[in-house]
Structure 1
């Protein structure tokens, strides 16, 4: 099964290195010398990692098939994926593959069934669970322990600590302020 591990950014230098927007908790493993990744383009391509290094907090990767900056720029914004066994799980019990979360039932801390996880949105600051509520609308919930205290992959559910306006945007609290505040 293919798992997204990064997105190719802009070229770095003239020898074909590219910056990678990392989407894995195991970048040193997924982008190790000799490893292969597949692009998500209409015509997918297999790329071999010739080398990788960290520079100013950014992962730089040189693909064997990319000889220069011009070729590197053509890969910009493509997602890269790697093959992961279907039963493989991350080593850290607090880490999950997107594929393991999508389809999980969502319930509140009080036990009420409220929907299903339909996607995981990756942002620079944090990941968000996209949840289709039983009522039909989509909501985004930050994947932080305070709001998502429990995920049970084996039992196929995730618990969300509901707050006013989180799962039901109509229930958001309205704060009245005085003019000039």
Structure 2
């Protein structure tokens, strides 16, 4: 069985180099000069790495027979594959994205989400975990934080630092309007204009006798 380890991106510079999207956690070992990959589409033939270097977090590759930008353009979108037996012989602790995607992400006995992807960087790899609430969290794929990967039982065990799963929550660092205080609103409708009028005037509209009594009480 074969696994995809990279996808070729756009040309880089004028010497036939290309950027690649990685699907392996051991790029330094995998993409050494002289390494040979099966390419898809097959018309490109096996591709042999002539050189590899990093540009920040992006791996730049050169291939034998591709020496200028126009030639490199023909490689855009090509997929690179290796045999899985070869991959397993290289590193028993290496994991490929297709093996990780779909595994439950557990913290202790609690399921907090599922692995939805793997982001391979020069400094360290990141697991992409989609939480039960539908948010994505990037988890450093290091032994201290991901101490166990159990493909057979379908889970990864996480020991995340405090606050890791809150970092990407929408509005996690924003207070609500008025810090959550609610202003009381009078639902009784507009004030009665008559409440500010002279009692005698109000009474005179209804009962003349009451008006006289009100005037007398005001003296």
Please state how far the C-alpha of 1:79 moved relative to its aligned partner.
Answer: 5.6
Unpaired runs of 5+ residues, structure 2, are: 174-219
User: Do the aligned partners of 1:106 and 1:117 also contact (CA within 8 Å) in 2?
Assistant: yes
Which runs of structure 2 are paired with 1:10-159 in the superposition (5 Å)? 10-11=12-13, 13=15, 17-21=16-20, 23=22, 24=24, 25=26, 26-28=30-32, 32-33=35-36, 35-38=37-40, 46-50=44-48, 52-54=50-52, 60-64=61-65, 66=66, 68-75=68-75, 78=77, 80-85=79-84, 89=88, 91-108=90-107, 110-159=108-157
Of 53-62 and 161-170, more deviation after overlay is shown by: 53-62
- Give the structure with higher Rg (CA): 2
User: Do the aligned partners of 2:148 and 2:158 also contact (CA within 8 Å) in 1?
Assistant: yes
Q: Which has the higher strand share?
A: 1
1:85-127 CA-to-partner distances (Å, cap 9, x unmatched) read 499636323211111111111111x221111101112234322
Change (3 A) 1:52 1:132: same
User: Do the aligned partners of 1:89 and 1:97 also contact (CA within 8 Å) in 2?
Assistant: no
The equivalent residue for 1:177 is none
User: Do the aligned partners of 1:90 and 1:96 also contact (CA within 8 Å) in 2?
Assistant: no
User: Do the aligned partners of 2:5 and 2:82 also contact (CA within 8 Å) in 1?
Assistant: no
Q: Which has the higher contact order (CA 8 A, sep 6+)?
A: 1
User: Do the aligned partners of 1:18 and 1:62 also contact (CA within 8 Å) in 2?
Assistant: yes
Please state how far the C-alpha of 1:54 moved relative to its aligned partner.
Answer: 4.7
Task: Specify the SS of the correspondent of 1:126.
Answer: coil
Q: CA RMSD in A?
A: 3.5
The equivalent residue for 1:179 is none
TM-score by structure 2 length? 0.57
Aligned residues: 160
Match of 2:162 among 164, 167, 177: 164
Q: 1: distance between equivalents of 2:90 and 2:64?
A: 27
User: Do the aligned partners of 2:129 and 2:136 also contact (CA within 8 Å) in 1?
Assistant: yes
Task: Specify the SS of the correspondent of 1:72.
Answer: helix
